[in-house]
Structure 1
Amino acid sequence: MVMEDKGEFSFSTCWNMRRHSTGVGLLNEIRELGFRRVELNYNVTEEMLVTIEPMIERGEIGISSVHNTFPHVPDPDYGTDSVLLGFEDKEKRKRAINLLVRSAEYAQRYGGEAVVVHPGEVPFPYDISGELEQIYEGQGRDSAAYRSKWAELMERREAYSAGYVQTIIESLDEVCNRAVSKGLNVRFGIETRSKPQQIPTLAEAGTIINALKGAPVGIWYDTGHAIMMDRLGLYDSIGEMEGLMDDIVGVHIHETIGLSDHWCPYVNSGDPDFYDAYLPMIERAQVKVYELKAACRPEEIHESHRLLTAKLARRG
């Protein structure tokens, strides 16, 4: 049974990626939820595209966006938690640039509007974000242990982030020049991230976007990640968006419970109001994508969408 049409809203394959070995199975399950458009995430393989491409060609599914690096690249240097566009190593950075251009070519070929980009991070010698989350959940953000660990993170971040941001700007400039020369009509959305050592903060996003004025680069506002970073203390996820509202390429729609993300807004948290603060960002986004975890059940997805669209309609 196909559920009610979800209109302009798109749905990420991260929800059911692990349940399928074929592209046709992957997308049919999403189509049954009533979504006409999908975001192909970075775990979609070239093998899956063999059955996905005919579906696109027949008009059975639309592609809103692809998530770099696309299709899947098993090398962790080019994965989701990586220095990526900020590599100092020239060859590694060159490959990262080539892979992002390739993602944009796929997006264009499939009729997508945007590429979701994880720009990079300030590398740490150990898993500092994991330790911070443990302290946050065990002792709280106001504890001495948290303040001490946070100070360590920020000291290194402040020392190195400007250099990485500058390299990311140079990489994106090259990507955009190549995309334009190839006639690609897609935008690059630099995504708000889920770990505090990762780039960009909202201020860094503003720096990158302003440095590339006129280029097809904006912010991909991942609402759940922004909520997490706000809770950890990295930035004000609502107040600091004021100067970036005109630059929203897309949004990932999901809610965070504590520091656990990718839940259905309103439904899984049981909070009828908290997520309202993120509706203006969803409203402004060119591409609106639900990015939910496998634990979200179809009935929760439908109810969440019903509540969210009703609230958006009331704003209008």
Structure 2
Amino acid sequence: MGKDKGIYSFSTCWNIKRHSAGSGMIDEIRELGFRNVELNYNVTQELLSTIEPMIERGEIGVSSVHNTFPHDPDPDYGTDSVLLGFEDEVKRQRAIELLIGSAEYANRYGAKAVVVHPGEVPFDYNIDQALKKIYHEQGPESPAYVKLWSEMLERRESLAERYLQRIGDSLEDICERIASKGWDVSIGIETRSRCYQMPTLREAKSVFDRLKGAPVGLWYDFGHGMMMERMGLYDNARDMEDIKDDVVGIHIHETVGLSDHWCPYVHSGDVDYFDRFLPIIAAAPVKVYELKAACKPDEIEQSHDMLLAKLASLEV
């Protein structure tokens, strides 16, 4: 049994593929010492049938749920879609209803937040995948990377405003609905893992400035932030100062190169880079580890111990 992780929560993305029963999945996470979980977007109604009794008995707390929740197999409303920014009004309204449905579950389980991937500037092929391939094979300074990156950025920047406007419209509707129902649930828009996806930290800030006082904020995913910094989209250390007061939750994981969801400090062997996120971790209302299946229990324990030691030295 791992040491008690206190206020820290743990995403079911770590072990969901290993379990056919939700109760077994939750028990394995409890073995690590976590008292709270984030139920991710692959959790089905069937898995919930054995998780809900555990929530009701107080055996596990739910910190957050990840939209679309429970699982929706339609890729239009999946984790890599235009979602809240759809031009098609029928699709946009459907995305709004699904997010409100996720918030209803969050409220029912006593969770504080819903994590959402709000949207993207659509491309007719996965330009992010093409860029990452060049990054690995030739490096980010190579002429091929620089050329394709500038093409991506030109399209992204020319269209971002209209998609951001619709994402803001959708969030405004959603926040009004949540407030009218009296739910104590925040919507956290997540920093993303593909360069054409939204928001950057600055884009997020513009949404929050528009929706002052609404139950919406940034879900700061550190691994994704590291990837986007390495690719050239934004600078975490520079931009986080503007956004730090708008953070409603975090995904704790680290990136090795452009591979994410690793244990901070342990898998990268870099004992300094991740430190820039420590003040955000200390202040974040909801703190969730989002690790991949390859992370072993002893590595998770070691990483958490290192993180706590660094946070403690921050307070001195």
- Normalised-by-shorter TM-score class: over 0.9
Equivalent residue number for residue 169 of structure 2: 170
Deviation (angstroms), 1:277: 1.1
Cα deviations by residue, 1:91-150 (Å, 9 ceiling, x for unpaired): 101110000000000001001000111000000001100000001111111111001000
Equivalent residue number for residue 108 of structure 2: 109
Query: Does 1:92 pair with 2:91?
Result: yes
CA RMSD of aligned residues (A): 0.6
Query: Does 1:218 pair with 2:217?
Result: yes
Superposition map of 1:98-177 within 5 A: 98-177=97-176
**Aligned letter for 2:104?**
E
Equivalent residue number for residue 233 of structure 1: 232
Deviation (angstroms), 1:10: 0.2
Deviation (angstroms), 1:284: 1.5
Q: Distance in 1 between matches of 2:182 and 2:192?
A: 29
Equivalent residue number for residue 188 of structure 1: 187
**Aligned letter for 1:185?**
D
Equivalent residue number for residue 279 of structure 2: 280
Q: Distance in 1 between matches of 2:279 and 2:118?
A: 24
SS at 1:184 equivalent: coil
SS at 1:218 equivalent: strand
Equivalent residue number for residue 38 of structure 1: 37
Q: Distance in 2 between matches of 1:155 and 1:234?
A: 12
Q: Distance in 1 between matches of 2:237 and 2:201?
A: 10
Cα deviations by residue, 1:62-101 (Å, 9 ceiling, x for unpaired): 0000001100000000000000000011110111000000
Superposition map of 1:301-312 within 5 A: 301-312=300-311
Q: Distance in 2 between matches of 1:284 and 1:188?
A: 17
Deviation (angstroms), 1:239: 1.0
Equivalent residue number for residue 206 of structure 1: 205
Deviation (angstroms), 1:37: 0.2
- Runs of 4+ in structure 1 deviating by more than 3 angstroms, as ranges, are none
Equivalent residue number for residue 179 of structure 1: 178
**Aligned letter for 2:160?**
S
Deviation (angstroms), 1:243: 0.9
Deviation (angstroms), 1:298: 0.3
Cα deviations by residue, 1:230-278 (Å, 9 ceiling, x for unpaired): 0000000121011111111011000000000000001111112221111
SS at 2:213 equivalent: coil
**Aligned letter for 1:188?**
I
Equivalent residue number for residue 73 of structure 2: 74
SS at 2:13 equivalent: coil
- Normalised TM-score (structure 2): 0.99
Q: Distance in 1 between matches of 2:282 and 2:209?
A: 22
Equivalent residue number for residue 17 of structure 1: 16
SS at 1:234 equivalent: coil
Q: Distance in 2 between matches of 1:193 and 1:165?
A: 14
Q: Distance in 2 between matches of 1:98 and 1:22?
A: 28
Equivalent residue number for residue 55 of structure 1: 54
SS at 1:275 equivalent: helix
Q: Distance in 2 between matches of 1:238 and 1:20?
A: 38
**Aligned letter for 2:34?**
F
Unpaired stretches in structure 1, ≥5 consecutive residues: none
**Aligned letter for 2:133?**
Q
**Aligned letter for 1:11?**
F
Superposition map of 1:284-303 within 5 A: 284-303=283-302
SS at 2:267 equivalent: coil
**Aligned letter for 2:228?**
M
SS at 2:189 equivalent: strand
Query: Does 1:65 pair with 2:64?
Result: yes
Kindly, what percent of the aligned residue pairs are identical?
65
Q: Distance in 2 between matches of 1:298 and 1:105?
A: 32
SS at 1:74 equivalent: coil
Unpaired stretches in structure 2, ≥5 consecutive residues: none
Worse-superposed segment, 272-281 or 76-85:
272-281
Cα deviations by residue, 1:50-71 (Å, 9 ceiling, x for unpaired): 1111000000000000001100
